[in-house]
Amino acid sequence: MRNNLTASFLALSFVTFTRAEAVPTPAAVVPPQNETVPRNVQVFYITNRLVKKEKKLFYTFERSDDLNYGVREVKLTVHDGKKTLFAKRAENSTDLKTEDFFAKLADAQKEKKTKQVILYVHGYDCSIDVASSVAAKMSNELQLPVVLFSWPSRRNVLTYTADECNAEWSSFQLSDVLQDLSTKLGANNIILVGHSMGCRILCWSLQHARAVGELPNEKFRHVFLCSPDMDAQVFQKYSQIFKSTSEDTRVFASYKDVRLIISKLLHGAIRLGSLDSARKHEVVKLADNDTIQTIDYTDDDPTVFGHAIPYHMLRQAIQPEATVSR
């Protein structure tokens, strides 16, 4: 009986709390004062979703052993008359050959006058359209090209466990992507951003790369783990991987992350992105070293249920001298 009640509570909690914010919602983005909106933002993508080519490209929620490369255009507009940006669904999606993909990415780097590139790994309950919208806002705020790694999340709050399996399966292909990007761009020019369950994929990928001896010789510029939905104690076991592969690793966590409170109930262990447990007495103890910082973004998160990507904090970490009008 107790198990049935627990299952019913969790199902109700998922529907209640996550449908209101069906997408892991990034923190509000304030457009720079000199920016003109609406505008189109390029999002580069690498995906292991199964693709169907009908009237237009359609990426399903099923697995593919092949990686597809491409670019999408997402229009950013001012939402409801407020000074926050709203991303519409991608209007154009074009599959590219690998060499054409990297050629266009190089053009984007030249346009933004940078060698740096962000590789963004989304969380669960996320279609490629939703993830592209997040990536577009991230690119706009951080003023850097963003490469989205989109894995076959099923875009359904009730298939959490299935997404966990797909996430682990995808980590092996992400390991190949990391190696390829590092070879072509240089690891020190790459900023890794994981959100929610996507943080687990990053951890598994780095672990796999180390196990097979495929870690890049140089370190990644930054690793940002935003609202990470992973066991906090398990993360301590990964700390050495991050110390050896990243110049700067930061965990962005919140006291009010409702999704991670529910995840703790599901998994029986406090999550890395929760600065407090459901009863608010079990403070997370993270790896104690000088390369992994824990950032509390509770007061900077305008969303109702937490679980955000604090864009402006990422931008300040990348460009400490930059100031953002808020």
Q: Residue 12: enclosing H or E segment and its boundaries? A: helix 2-13
pLDDT tens for 141-150 read 999 999 999 9
pTM of the predicted protein model: 0.85
Q: What percent of the chain stands above pLDDT 90?
A: 53
**Domain boundaries, given as residue ranges, for the chain:** 2-318
| Mean pLDDT, rounded, of the chain | 82
Average pLDDT over residues 181-202: 97
What pLDDT does residue 29 have? 47
Relative to beta strand 85-87, strand 57-78 is antiparallel
The widest CA-to-CA distance across the chain, in whole angstroms, is: 61
What pLDDT does residue 321 have? 60
Q: How far apart are CA 95 and CA 304, in angstroms?
A: 36
Report the amino acid identity of residue 256: K
Q: Residue 43: enclosing H or E segment and its boundaries? A: strand 39-53
Alpha helices, H only, the chain: 2-13, 19-20, 98-111, 128-142, 160-185, 198-211, 232-245, 258-267, 311-318
pLDDT tens for 148-174 read 999 999 888 788 999 999 999 999 999
Q: What percent of the chain stands above pLDDT 70?
A: 77
- Cβ contacts of 267 within 8 Å, gap of 6 or more: 231
* Topology of domain 2-318, CATH: Rossmann fold (3.40.50)
Q: Three-class SS of residue 139?
A: helix
pLDDT tens for 97-128 read 999 999 999 999 999 999 999 999 999 999 99
pLDDT tens for 23-48 read 544 444 444 444 555 678 999 999 99
| 143 burial type by CB count under 10 A (0-12 exposed, 13-18 middle, 19+ buried) | middle
Q: Three-class SS of residue 103?
A: helix
Asked if 252 contacts 222 with a C-beta cutoff of 8 angstroms, the reply is: no
SS3 content of the chain, % helix, strand, coil (to 5): 40, 25, 35
